[in-house]
Structure 1
Amino acid sequence: MSVLSLRFSRAFETYEEWALPQRKSADLLLSMKRVEGLSLDVGCGTGFASRGLKKVVGVDISKGMAKIYKDRFGKVLLANAEALPFQDKQFHLVISNFSLHWTNLKKSIPEMVRVCRGQMLIALPVEGSLKELGFPFPSESAVLNLVKSEGVKVLESFMQKLEIPFKGWDLLRFFHYTGTSFNPSKEGVIMSRKKIEDMISHIDTPLFSVLFLSCEVKA
């Protein structure tokens, strides 16, 4: 193994050591799966939501994540969720775990619907997640309205609070290793250590409010 590949391997082992809410979210999402066949994992990362899927293709914008995913699952493409490089109705199952909040939902969700001809599964942190930090997570109602506007049938929808089991500077390390949502700067000015400490000291129970969706998309 080269020095470069060793560096990538260790980096994403570290990601998985910290990404505990993301892993739990993927487990819950996969428990909602109703169909078999060719699957697409949108924002696949290292593959939490691809475990157990027999025929799966991953899509991610991170070269490092894609490398790990390819080693584990085979086929992966570097692509944006807002412009998926696939034909209409190509996949029986389209799944996305903890990634769509980084995208323009008005583009990524219609793209997921477009390439799906069976079941669409989404786990997405929404308003109420890490509210102390002010990250603009979408509202539950906005996501549901957008999904329904695409003409799909919502089979199951529920909210689940997923605790982040880290506090203080470990919480900042969690953000760093998972790329979750937090950049300690404002208008290009990096916050001082004291300001960051003050901010995280007010977070008693860091958590994500996650919307889980199972939808039927007709062929």
Structure 2
Amino acid sequence: MIKKRISQSFSKSFRTYQNKAIMQKQTATILSEMAEDLTGLGIDLGCGTGFLYESLRKKMIGVDISLKMLEIYKSKNPLAIAGDIEKLPFKNNVFDFAVSNFSLHWTDLKISLKEISKVLKQNGIFCFCMPIEGSLKIVENILGKRNYDFYSEKEAIEILSGYFEIIISFHKEFKLEFKNGLELLNHLHETGSAIGKEGLSLGEKKRIFEKFKNYNKTAVLNFNVLFVKALKRE
């Protein structure tokens, strides 16, 4: 069910995502610098509209769960298919490297990393970034409860270590300021990020809208992002 909601959310926002996903563009730039030495054939996991491909310009096959996002990605790189990171449609030991920008937090990390490890060749490299615990504090503040479950840095590193040897890892916080809660809510919808832990009734959606609408002061959106470059374990 969650996969369907994720696909629908990003498919609805595909027209606005390209211009509004400012922080995702920033993380793609940093990630491309980490991956600039990679060679061979790669896979761009959760490729979206192609921010990482535009920055990196490597030979890669894009994979995304949203068909609408893939339409835009294919205008930049025709090598792309619809697929789920947790169930990759490739044979084992195919790719020299894998990259992923702002996508793994939507998945079961252990399942995803196992899949990614399988499709990578021996000594394959995986570069990725994902928001972790401490992100979206303002949303929790406005709603008065946690609406997103992020992995902690410790949890993510522990899971990763079962499949990869870490070459480098660090985290960095990104912030974006909005005039009020309603402007923030619009941004979350425009970037496909307005997905909570579970599906909401119409009444619940209205109550959430009112809480954001009544937040009449500066709203600072934050993402605490983990960056990693790792080597596939033998």
TM-score band, normalised by shorter chain: 0.7 to 0.9
The question of whether the paired residues in 1 share the 8 Å contact of 2:110 and 2:160 is answered with: no
Tell me: CA distance 1:206–1:91, structure 2 relative to 1, closer, same or farther (3 Å): same
Partner SS, residue 34 of structure 2: coil
- Aligned residues: percent identity? 34
- In the TM superposition, residue 122 of structure 1 has moved relative to its aligned partner by 1.1
2:52 counterpart (49, 54, 63): 49
Cα pair distance change 1:191/1:204, threshold 3 Å: same
Instruction: Give TM-score, length-normalised by structure 1.
Output: 0.86
Deviation at 1:64, TM superposition (A): 0.4
1:1-219 alignment to 2 at 5 Å? 12-33=14-35, 34-51=37-54, 52-117=56-121, 118-132=124-138, 133=140, 134=146, 135-150=148-163, 152-168=164-180, 169-182=182-195, 188=201, 189-192=204-207, 193-198=209-214, 200-201=215-216, 204-217=219-232
Structure 1 residue 166 displacement after superposition = 3.1
The secondary structure found in structure 2 opposite 1:154 is strand
Shift of 1:165: 3.7
SS in 1 for 2:173: strand
Q: What is the Cα deviation at residue 12 of structure 1?
A: 3.8
Kindly provide the amino acid, as one letter, of the partner of residue 46 in structure 1.
T
Q: 1:76: how far off? A: 0.8
SS of the counterpart of 1:84?
A: coil
* 1:7 corresponds to: none
Letter in 1 for 2:23: P
Query: In the alignment, is the contact (CA less than 8 A) between 1:29 and 1:123 conserved in 2?
Result: yes
Unaligned runs of 5+ in 1: 1-10
User: How many residues end up aligned between the 2 structures?
Assistant: 208
Following superposition, the deviation at residue 114 of structure 1 comes to 1.4
Q: Which runs of 5+ in 2 are unaligned?
A: 1-12, 141-145
Whole-angstrom CA distance in 1 between matches of 2:194 and 2:113: 20
Distance 1:73 1:81, change over 3 A: same
